[in-house]
A and B are shown apart, each in its own frame.
Chain A
Amino acid sequence: GDSVTQMEGPVTLSEEAFLTINCTYTATGYPSLFWYVQYPGEGLQLLLKATKADDKGSNKGFEATYRKETTSFHLEKGSVQVSDSAVYFCALSDVGGSQGNLIFGKGTKLSVKP
């Protein structure tokens, strides 16, 4: 079945460091891909998305490019801030499949130190 694999955390970085959180997927159809963020004590929020190959999603300085050839959707940010400390979830939605739900990775906890 469809699945999402993301790098295990926790990831600890200093402020202004470069961030990459790897995400790869397995899907039988043509999925849409998402990154969600969960700040401490809050619910999940959609961070960015891409609906087809080569699309780049971007928001709040974060970017991710839908790479069909490598089945990846890695999250990047050039200069992280303390306020970016959160848990990041990669997810896919197989629009062509029978399921209507998003399939999530296990999440990667990011801690940014001043």
Chain B
Amino acid sequence: GAGVSQSPSNKVTEKGKDVELRCDPISGHTALYWYRQRLGQGLEFLIYFQGNSAPDKSGLPSDRFSAERTGESVSTLTIQRTQQEDSAVYLCASSQRTGTYGYTFGSGTRLTVV
């Protein structure tokens, strides 16, 4: 597609439930990133995929968070047993390569845990 597509755009879930967030990167972009943006805060790096290399998971805040990506296509971010502190906007971005090219961001998924 023309841009990075994320779904759903909004998700309200009960504490303790699992949620799955989806990201469709721009076709041909080998790198894909997930960030979290809490209300009034900056961006917090979660995980990074580059082609078929092992992902950089160093930003995942706990073992309740996981992400998958098949090849250079769709990625899903899964949060198990959601907690209220997981409430945030989850942003996905893709780029042609790492480093100098900058990212194209999706509009994000706003997750609210009640």
Contact = CB atoms under 8 A, between A and B. Distances in A.
Interface of A: 32, 34, 36, 42-46, 49, 51, 89, 93, 95, 99-107
A99 B56 CA distance: 8
A43 B108 contact: yes
A103 B42 CA distance: 10
Interface string B36-61: 00000111010010100000101100
Interface of B: 4, 31, 33, 35, 41-43, 45, 48, 50, 56, 58-59, 91, 93, 98-100, 102-108
A105 B42 CA distance: 6
Among A44, A46, A104, A105, chain B packs the most CB atoms within 10 A around the CB of A44
B100 A95 contact: yes
28 contacts: A32-B99, A34-B102, A36-B105, A43-B106, A43-B107, A43-B108, A44-B43, A44-B91, A46-B103, A46-B104, A49-B100, A51-B100, A89-B42, A93-B100, A95-B98, A100-B31, A100-B48, A100-B98, A101-B45, A101-B59, A101-B98, A102-B45, A102-B103, A104-B43, A105-B42, A106-B41, A106-B42, A107-B41
A33 B91 CA distance: 20
